[in-house]
Structures are given as structure tokens and as C-alpha cells.
Structure 1
Amino acid sequence: MKKDILAQKLEQQLRTVAAERLAAKREPGLLASRTALKQYQAARLASSHADLLAHPNTGDAARFFLEELYGSQDLSQRDIDLGRIIPTLQKMLTYEALHTITDAIVLDALSEQLDTAMARVLGTEFTEGMYIAAYRTATTREERLRQLDLVQELGGSLCDLVNIPLLAMTLTIMKGPARVAGLSNLHKFLERGFTTFKKMRKPRDFVATIVARERQVMENIFEGRMDSFGQ
């Protein structure tokens, strides 16, 4: 896939994410519910992957995944900035780096849609049982499988980044121009992802572990098992 096709895909996915977040902001109740849901999910993921967070080899990468991909922070401004400078991205970023950014936004777009569907059911106060019921009824197995496939793809993109010769030097050189071009947050995402995956032994095993665990959680929920979050 060429960079111009990637850029088109990125632009389309950003529109999807922006529309989802804008719709939520127009409904204060929905926005509050989405925020509560995201906070709950971040805490659950931190608990499920506590061993990865605590291990010296995987801790930084696990925090990157949980904070950058599953965090509860508002990323609206990041998306606005990103959409504004897509032509600049095509010129400044390598194909692999642009591919990683695109994978992240594709995952973000689907996750936002699934969060909205669940938030409309849950409200701001809910139990684990209510969360599990909403997961099963407001979203589908096919959607959740697609979400996990996207996590796998993004993890693979990050693994590919660490094998690019001189990328660390390129990211260092880009820091100043990125700030001038309004790309600081984007540069931080790439640099953090590259750094955490570069220093990790067997990064593909790390991605496979997270995906396998979350796939088991998904299966537990849709099969109605009592301890859905047990591994």
C-alpha cells in the first residue's frame, strides 16, 4: 500500500473518530457514561495485565499500550491536529511510521464506536455484571474479533518499526521540525512506541500475550462463563 493510499485511509478514519466524539459531546449524559466506561476498562486492563506492567522487560510497553491505546483521556485535539497536517505526514514520515499511525487510528475508530454502544446501555454507575451484560448485548463477537485483529496489526506495526535502520536517529532529528509543524503529540506517540518496543526482548511475544488474553476474556463473556476476566 502506497503512502497516498495510507493517507486517504487515515483521513477517513479520523473523520469517523471525530464524528463519534462530537456526537458524544453533544449529549452530556453520553459523554459522562463514555468517560466512566473508559476509566473502568483502563482499570480492568491494568488488573488483567498486572504482571506485564510489573515486569522490567514489558512494563514500559504495557504502559504504552494501556495509556496510548486504552486510556480514558480526551484525544479530540490530537485528532484535529492530525487531520490538519496529513499532507505534512506524508512528506515527513516513513511508510512504516505512517502505517503505524494509521493502524492506531483505525483501532481508535472502532473502539470509540463500541464504547458508545456500551455507554448508551450502562450509564455512569454499573457493576461488573452489568458491564459484562452490556458487552454481550451492545456489541457483537464479530466486532470484538475485529478489534483484537486491529490490536494485533498495530502491535505488528510497532514491531516492524524497531527493525528500520537509523529510525532512532530519524526520530531525534524530527523532534524540532515536528514541534514547529504541530506534530509534537504525534512524534511523542511514535517515539514512545519505538523506544518501548526497541528495548523489549521478543516484542511479538508481548503482543501475542495481550491479544491471547483479551481473546480469552472475549470468549468468556460471550460464552457466559462466571469468571469472565479470569485467564
Structure 2
Amino acid sequence: MNPDGQRILEYLAEVDRLRAERTGNPALATAVHLVKQYQSARFSKTYADLLGDPRYAQAARFFLDELYGPQEFAARDAQFARIVPALVRIFPAEIVGTVSTLAQLHALSESLDSRMGRNWLAVATGVRAMTAVDYIAAWRATGEREGRAQQIDLTMQIGRALDHYTRKPLLRGALHMMRRPAQAAGLGELQHFLESGFDTFGRMRGAQAFLDVVRQREASLAEALFGAAPVTSATSNSGGAPRSTADTLGQLP
């Protein structure tokens, strides 16, 4: 198996380990799910303008559903793990590379979400819907500046790859032709992801402006979260943080 295929298996094994850890700890599983729900709501608020823009709405929705959504991808992951050899054999090498990047992002995000869930549980008096105060505290307790920067970078890599593929009509045709073999090989979920991403980015007719906005907003939010003064329910709406930080954190639900 080529290196990309091996890396995909390693990333998926890490995701499976984290998922098994949560299965054995229901409180952690609930906390992580609530973290993901909060992050999905945050993305919807941060990108409300793009979600309402005719040009960018589908791309923003694709990112929300496929990269930032709270749903579990256990079925998709299990499918991927079973058919990685077929994936490497059937799909072009550059697409396999993109799938490897997707798996890497998935493993990193799951790890960060698990750590945030643990840190929230350590101080929470009970597991309930997250607030901005909870989220900021869990984020700062988790730390991982490098991991957060890598998370943004991997997201950009996937977006740039999908944008690049839209300028290769032969690749789109090949992807369409692979639909039946992919279904037969158990690659239906992956095929859907690739076709959906390809078509969504193609309709934008150039994704650089969209990706620049996502990078800038995610990086600004990460910096504000790391730099935020300790926040309590009594000060979170009273201007306790510097104005620029408070403005950025205003996108938290």
C-alpha cells in the first residue's frame, strides 16, 4: 500500500480509539457531542453572511456539514477503513492525497474535541448545553496553539484541492465514471463527499476569496480565544476583554 493509504489507516485508527474511549465514558461522550454542537452553531453565526450569499452559500454549507458539523462519521470512517486498498487502487493519486488530508484533519479535530470535553467536565457542575463562558474556558485549558493552526491549515488544503480539481474537467468526468465502481467497492460515502465538494466549489467559479475569509476569521477567533481574559458569567457581556478581542468573541453563540 502506498504511503497515503497507510496514513489514512493510521488516522482512522486514532479516531476509532478516541471514539471507543468515549463509548466507555458516557459523560465524556455527551460533553464532546455538546462541544461539537456548540462549534457548529458558532460556525453558522460566524459565516451567516456567507451562508446567505448566493455565490458562497453552498460552499459554506459544505464546510459546515462535512468539516464542522456535530454529526458522528462512524459509518463513513468504518467504510473508509475497510476499503482503503480499493480507494488507493480506484481513485487518482491526487484524490487519495486529499482523502489522506481529510483523514488527518478528522483525527486532529476529534483529538482536540475530546480534550475540550475532558477539560470542560473537569470544572463543570453538570453537563448541559455549552455557553460562551464554558467554551472559552475549555479552549484555553486545552491549549494546543500549534494544533489549532494546523487544523486551519488542513482545512485550507482541502479547500484548495477541491478548487484545483474544478479546473480539471477530465478529473470531474473520471470521478463521474467511478461512481458505479466506487459503489461496488463500498466507497459510496467517499464518492458522495468528493462529488459534492467538486460541484460545490465548481459553482463558485473561484474559491480563493471564500478560503481567505475562512482562514482570516478562524485565525482571528483562535487568537482571540487564546488571548481572552478569564471570562465569567458576570463579566462576559460587560467589556472585560479588550475591545478588539471582545468584538471577535462576539461571534460565539
**How many pairs align?**
229
1:102 to 97, 100, 103: 100
Counterpart residue identity of residue 177, structure 1: P
What do residues 3-23 of structure 1 show as CA deviations (whole Å, max 9, x unaligned)?
811111111111111111111
Is 1:179 the counterpart of 2:179? The answer is: no
Partner SS for 1:55: coil
Is 1:87 the counterpart of 2:85? The answer is: yes
Partner SS for 2:173: helix
Question: Which residue of structure 1 aligns with residue 116 of structure 2?
Answer: 118
Partner SS for 1:85: helix
Distance 2:106 2:18 in 1: 11
The percent of aligned pairs where both chains have the same amino acid is: 38
Partner SS for 1:74: coil
Question: Which residue of structure 1 aligns with residue 134 of structure 2?
Answer: 130
TM-score by length of 2: 0.86
Question: Which residue of structure 2 aligns with residue 13 of structure 1?
Answer: 11
Instruction: After TM superposition, give the deviation of residue 163 of structure 1 in Å.
Output: 2.2
Question: Which residue of structure 2 aligns with residue 226 of structure 1?
Answer: 246
Question: Which residue of structure 2 aligns with residue 145 of structure 1?
Answer: 149
Q: Which runs of 5+ in 1 are unaligned?
A: none
- The answer to whether the 8 Å contact 1:82/1:183 transfers is yes
- The answer to whether the 8 Å contact 2:7/2:100 transfers is yes
TM-score by length of 1: 0.94
2:41 to 40, 43, 49: 43
Q: Which runs of 5+ in 2 are unaligned?
A: 122-126, 229-244
Is 1:168 the counterpart of 2:201? The answer is: no
Instruction: After TM superposition, give the deviation of residue 65 of structure 1 in Å.
Output: 0.6
What do residues 126-183 of structure 1 show as CA deviations (whole Å, max 9, x unaligned)?
3211211110111322221111111121112212221223122222211122111111
Distance 2:145 2:135 in 1: 15
Question: Which residue of structure 1 aligns with residue 241 of structure 2?
Answer: none
- Give the stretch that moved more between structures: 100-109 or 164-173: 164-173
Moved runs in structure 1, 4+ residues, more than 6 A? Answer: none
Question: Which residue of structure 1 aligns with residue 213 of structure 2?
Answer: 209
Q: Larger Rg: 1 or 2? A: 2
Counterpart residue identity of residue 20, structure 1: L
